[in-house]
Amino acid sequence: MKLTKKAFAKINLTLEILGKRRGDGFHDIASVMMKTPELYDEVSIEVYPETETAGKVNFFCDKNVCEPEKNLACRAAKLYFDAAQKETGKKLPSILVALQKHIPSGAGLAGGSADAAAVLNGLDELFGVLSRKELFEIALSLGSDIPFCLADCDAALCTGRGEIIEPLPKPENVRVKIRFPKTPLSTSGIYAEYDRFHGDDYTKNRSFAMAEALKRKAKLEEFAVLMCNDFQELCEKRCPEITEICEKLKSEGAYAQMSGSGSAVFGLWNEN
């Protein structure tokens, strides 16, 4: 038995860092996220029926992204298997998780998070052992973007550390193009760097305004003025090519900004 899932990249129409009142070391954010059908990884899960090798998660990726034990898709599968065995008292049949990567790593597009979510959704289809609540608990334990990637919606307002999801209508008649700087950008410590220059600010409201605009099916020209990314200025200092790509896309008639913590840049156009 085998199934294949598409793991869609996400872009952040807004990304606002609110502060650290949570008390758990994470930041509160407000972000309108959107999945992009233009770019996705392919995640396949094959089930081995042999009972003598039950309970094993085998893993393959066509690109050397990281060690298997660090890969979010592999970790998600193992956590699912552990929870399922605890739930039922039995081992699930062994599986092979295979990734075909198209989403670049470290681009701010949630490629690893999307892969992990696709694995959890795929295992839920195959075995159906865990509740959706348990799936989301596994997702959040692995990363703040994974709950949105797991959710059955194309766009959402994400708050808390990203786990509070309010589904939104996806913008209609909007074309997305994603471009990547030639120079890799390390965003290690980006939250700590942001904190050096900015304090808590829970009055930010562009994400909430963006959500309201999408609810009333505002046109691109109306909601694009609300686009924002609190990390972009910091990342542009590390990688000036981000600025150059944004300006190039704008010269082509797009509304453009960086996604997530970078370094990918996206442009939005009217399809009509």
Task: Give catalytic residue positions.
Answer: 10, 145
* Token pair recorded at residue 101: 């990567």
Residue 26 near residue 144 (C-beta atoms within 8 A): yes
Write out the DSSP string of the chain: -EEEEEEEEEEEEEEEEEE-TTSSSPPEEEEEEEEEEEEEEEEEEEE---GGGTT-EEEEESS--S-GGG-HHHHHHHHHHHHHHHHHSSPPPPEEEEEE--SPTTSSS-HHHHHHHHHHHHHHHHH--S-HHHHHHHHHHH-TTHHHHHSS-SEEEEETTTTEEEEEPPPSSEEEEEE--SS----TTHHHHHHHH----TT--HHHHHHHHHHTT--HHHHGGG-EETTHHHHHHH-THHHHHHHHHHHTT-EEEE-TTSS-EEEEEE--
